[in-house]
Amino acid sequence: MTAERSESVGDPSGDPSASFIKLLFVGDVIGRPGRRVLQRLLPSLRDRLALDYVVVNIENAAGGFGVTPAILDELDVLDIDCYTSGNHIWDKKEVLPLLEREPRLLRPANYPEGNPGTGVYVGETAAGVPVATLNLEGQVFMKNVDSPFRVADRLLAELPEEVKVVLVDFHGEATSEKQAMGLYLDGRVSAVFGTHTHVPTADERILPDGTAFITDVGMTGAYEGVIGFKAPKVLKRFALQRNIPFEVAKRDPRLAAAAVEIDVETGRASSLERLLLPLAG
């Protein structure tokens, strides 16, 4: 199995006076196989791509559903700057106090008030460049959450003026809604990366006003079955129309990610590369 990589979109060398950072976003980590491939490949990716900042979606990291404090501790040794999530963030009861005490672990910002945690985090690179991460969930075929478009407007208005680099994890089911969000935020954020459907799309591009976009980054996990789960139980659920529990798949683990280069003065993306990397050996 060879690594699948897209051609880099954009040209980071157009302005020799500009200063750039390299940011990596890793798509939904699915269970132990996803954590394993992340642990094996992320350190070398940090060095090879000269990464300045790393964001990872971990809403499926615990057996395919949710995340626990022990798993967050396990991943924290990897020098990850921020964690995003989605609708499955609520699946493990242990996550509720975790969301309160760990600001780097986000849940979608457009859930109703009264829920623990937050949907925005401002960190910084080793060189002191501030980076904001926003986590939003779609409405189409999803829960009855607040409008992600209106919540995005509010969150962006609340960011400090000096924050130019902004990444959005838009966790949604419908490709149309994700593409609409990319265009809605074009020129106002550095990147909009779709998650949730676990299938990487080949539409990575820099939008007209400088926002990097891909409909779905894809999943980091085992690609042998159906969206990270063993096929027999998934097929049985479809055939019998019963709520048969899923089991995380194990074979053919891969890391799905998007690497984006961003001008720190303007917040505009200058290049975008889609990655789908197998775990060798």
Written as six digits, the tokens of 235 are 């097929």
- CA-to-CA distance for 163 and 167, rounded, in angstroms? 11
Angle in degrees, CA 141, 113, 169, rounded to 5:
50
Has 171 been annotated as catalytic? no
- Residue 168 burial by CB count (10 A; 0-12/13-18/19+): exposed, middle or buried? buried
> Among the options 88, 171, 196, 198, which is catalytic?
88
- Residue 126 burial by CB count (10 A; 0-12/13-18/19+): exposed, middle or buried? exposed
- In angstroms, how far apart are the furthest CA atoms of the chain? 61
215 contact partners, CB below 8 Å, separation of at least 6: 175, 178, 179, 182, 194, 201, 203
Q: Which residues are known catalytic residues?
A: 88
